[in-house]
Amino acid sequence: MDRTEQKSIIEGLLFVSGDEGIYPEQIAKVLEIEGNEVIDILEEMQKECEGAHRGLQIVQYAKVYRFATKKEHASYYQKLIDIPTAASLSQAALETLAIVAYRQPITRTEMEEIRGVKTDKALQTLVSHLLIKEMGRAEGPGRPILYGTTKEFLDTFGLKTLDDLPPLSEENEQMNEADLFFGSLQEISK
């Protein structure tokens, strides 16, 4: 195996190892070469990454090597982080988010009664995107968690307060309540 292929494999190993990084000894075992040779290759790769035409660098912390982004590009990475996350939400997550926004504070069970399906995955997604959070516990059996929207929700959707949400038409609100009523009625009659 030539040096170019070794570098290519090491590059992939660095990528796959992620933030945890990888020890030179691990690379040596994978490539079946001496540890000193791995160090030489890593140092060559570090120099190659120092050029202005590269977005990544190879850094070493406590004997572990990993990829890291370059500080001079930090403003671009921040722009990516600041892009609203709503576009990446599934239809189920968006529906659940709308229910939380208009009916908060609300329990998972109440959301599921309105939607007619489980909301576990959608809730997990919304919490991980920081769009909703636990607001406390409801009184009653089991003291279920109450959910509500966050400041990030307002920022993502360009709202100053929840009062800026578009009003639900009376017809839509009655329709949702009717769906809830008939859904509950069907459950009782089973």
The strands making up 106-107's β-sheet, listed across from edge to edge, are 106-107, 145-149, 132-137
CB 100 within 8 A of CB 147: yes
Kindly state whether residue 34 falls inside one of the protein's structural domains. Answer: yes
Give the separation between CA 91 and CA 63, rounded to whole angstroms.
45
Are residues 36 and 95 both part of a single domain? no
Kindly state whether residue 79 falls inside one of the protein's structural domains. Answer: no
Q: What is the 3-state secondary structure of 74-137?
A: HHHHHHHHHCCCHHHCCHHHHHHHHHHHHHCCEEHHHHHHHHCCCCHHHHHHHHHCCCEEEEEE
| Domain boundary pick from 48, 73, 98 | 73
- CA quadruple 145, 155, 69, 64: dihedral, nearest 10: -20
Question: For residue range 4-57, what is the model confidence (pLDDT) as tens digits?
Answer: 999 999 999 999 998 889 999 999 999 999 999 999 999 999 999 987 688 999
- Hey, how many other C-beta atoms are within 10 angstroms of the C-beta on 165? 14
Give the separation between CA 110 and CA 15, rounded to whole angstroms.
43
Residues 6 or more apart in contact with residue 156 via CB below 8 angstroms: 84, 85, 86, 131
Kindly state whether residue 81 falls inside one of the protein's structural domains. Answer: no
Question: For residue range 89-140, what is the model confidence (pLDDT) as tens digits?
Answer: 888 999 999 999 999 999 999 999 999 999 999 999 999 999 999 999 999 8
Are residues 53 and 126 both part of a single domain? no
Kindly state whether residue 80 falls inside one of the protein's structural domains. Answer: no
Residue 16, domain extent: 3-73
- CA quadruple 175, 176, 180, 181: dihedral, nearest 10: -30
pTM of the model: 0.47
| Domain boundary pick from 73, 95, 125 | 73
